[in-house]
Amino acid sequence: MITASDMISFVKDVTHWDEVSSNTDIFSDLPCTGDDFHELIAKYAKKYSVDMSSYLWYFHANEEGQNLGGFFFRPPYKRVKRIPITPQILTNFANEGKWDIKYPEHKLAKYRIDIWISWLVLLVIIIFFALISCMK
């Protein structure tokens, strides 16, 4: 049986943050966003053997880095209301052995248009610099 105290220690170890309680919102209250949050969840799933097949990251955290296409089309995490994750929630799911959040109904685009735009902008920049270097 995993205790809330065990999970608090785990979160402290991963985030290197001492101010953690069972009700701490890991995303908002700690400096644990983007890739750091996703790494914490991956370590959690592995360490506690939690089935994460129903986990939807965009309800809990953001993405790392800049997404130019996000200025025109909202990324998934900006299309839904964020659901906080606390050490107590992680403890409950670790003891159940599966991620068990009932997500609200929502609809996301089939393709990430924001990412496609970002790649297109990057491609245009690469082509632009390639043409400039060929003209010299």
Residue 70 has a pLDDT of 55
Q: Where are the beta strands (DSSP E) in 13-135?
A: none
pLDDT at 28 > cutoff 80? yes
Confidence of residue 40 (pLDDT cuts 50, 70, 90): very high
Interatomic CA distance for residues 128 and 122, integer angstroms: 10
Locate tokens 């297109």: which residue?
120
What is residue 2's DSSP assignment? Answer: -
What does the chain come to in residues? 136
Residue 33, pLDDT > 80, answer: yes
Tell me the mean pLDDT in the region 22-47.
94
Task: Name 98's bridge partners.
Answer: 51
Ordered by start, the domain boundaries in the chain are 4-135
Record the pTM. Answer: 0.76
Q: Using one digit for the tens of pLDDT, what is the confidence trace for 104-135? A: 998 877 777 776 777 787 788 888 888 888 87
Say which residues have a Cβ less than 8 Å from residue 12's Cβ, sequence separation at least 6. Answer: 18, 20
Tens digit of each residue's pLDDT (9 = 90 or more) over 46-93: 999 999 999 999 899 988 766 665 566 677 777 799 999 999 999 999
Structure tokens, 123: 């491609």
**Are 35 and 15 within 8 A, CB to CB?**
no
Question: Are the C-beta atoms of residues 69 and 116 closer than 8 Å to each other?
Answer: yes
Cβ neighbours for 50, distance < 8 A, ≥ 6 positions apart? 44, 93, 94, 97, 98, 99
d(CA 45, CA 99): 9
